[in-house]
Structure 1
Amino acid sequence: MNAYASIVAHPREALQDGLEKVRAGMLGVDGSSQHMQPMTHFPDWEANRIWFLTSKDTDLVRELKSGAPAKFCVTDQEHGFDACIKGHLTEDLDRAKLDEYWSPVAGAWFQGGKDDPKLTMLRFDLVDAALWGSTDSKVKFGFEILKANMDEDKTPDVGAHTILRF
């Protein structure tokens, strides 16, 4: 299903589905001089959290202050889905979550496996998310563009936007 209809009807499910279809997004700390960084996400929807596995050597971790406001953004052109999630980011090496999310792919990044001294986790406690979904209908898109060009007071209606609070 295209994200447009899902965001209108069920925004929380649209976010969950959107993050399942995309394996990585961009994570950054508000007010930091660092650029956002690509990260693979591991949602924990029951706790309204997203987890990330990373190295203690990254600029992000070195400059992170516990509970810092942060944003995680994902985009999926194929399904017309975009999201920017706000929350609070904390370094938290949770061994139970590490066991849950560990995989051969994660292991490829850490020479010492789950016991690598550089391995850490980031816990992203969710506050809210802005979701956008665009239509996948070329006919609707064309019709909306035509209407907007015929009436200077109209803009094309080709998507949905909502804010989801946790």
Structure 2
Amino acid sequence: MSNALHTELFDRIKSTPTMMVGLNRNADRSEPMHICLEAENTDAFWIFTRKDNRIAGGGKAMAQFVSDDHKLFACFSGHLVRETDKSTIQDHFSLTVSAWYKDGFTDPTMEVLRFDIENTEIWEKDPSAAARLKMAIGAKVSEDDMGQHALL
């Protein structure tokens, strides 16, 4: 179950690559960031930002994801570290990313961060027919009635 949910999560992120990302040392602020994934890598993702952004420089961080249909939720914890490998940066540089940088790939204000995932918590909100009926009549609903949950 957890592997299927984990696979579904990364498939959903690929189709809607935006997460709220924030540093733990600045826990009162997160912001939406475009996420770059590698096809088979579920241990990290990449973020292009500016050197003066609040997450620049990296550190211990959290990221939250909500699917378009609001049925899949995830919270990632890990570390943001500066990505220095030019090949990796170029692999993730796209038209979407280039729209943010005046000088494109060589823009001096650009910083690329890799989010090294330490753990992931996933919730799938997919209430069963029985759960929907229980909610409609005010009966008690269990967590199992509402969908899946996994801590990876």
For 2:15, which of 16, 21, 24 is the aligned residue? Answer: 21
1:24 maps to amino acid:
T
| Length-normalised TM-score, structure 1 | 0.78
Question: What's the counterpart of residue 145 of structure 1?
Answer: 135
Structure 1 gap ranges (5+): 1-6
Cα gap change, 1:12 to 1:118, in 2 (>3 Å): same
For 1:48, which of 20, 43, 47 is the aligned residue? Answer: 43
> What is the 5 A alignment of 1:17-166?
17-32=11-26, 35-44=29-38, 45-46=40-41, 48-61=43-56, 64=57, 68-78=59-69, 80-135=71-126, 139-146=129-136, 149-150=138-139, 154-155=141-142, 157-164=145-152
SS of the residue aligned with 1:57? coil
1:27 maps to amino acid:
V
| Length-normalised TM-score, structure 2 | 0.84
- Residue deviations 1:61-105 (CA, integer Å, cap 9, x gap): 1xx35xx22111110151611000111111223211221111122
- Residue deviations 1:25-59 (CA, integer Å, cap 9, x gap): 10111122561011111123437111111111212
RMSD value, Cα = 2.4
* Percentage of pairs with the same residue: 23
Task: Between the two structures, name the one with larger relative contact order (CA 8 Å, sep ≥ 6).
Answer: 1
- Equivalent residue pairs, number: 150
Structure 2 distance, partners of 1:33, 1:48, is 23
More helix by share: 1
Cα gap change, 1:10 to 1:135, in 2 (>3 Å): same
Structure 2 distance, partners of 1:47, 1:158, is 26
Structure 2 gap ranges (5+): none
Cα gap change, 1:155 to 1:109, in 2 (>3 Å): same
Q: Is the 8 A contact 1:80 1:133 kept in 2?
A: yes
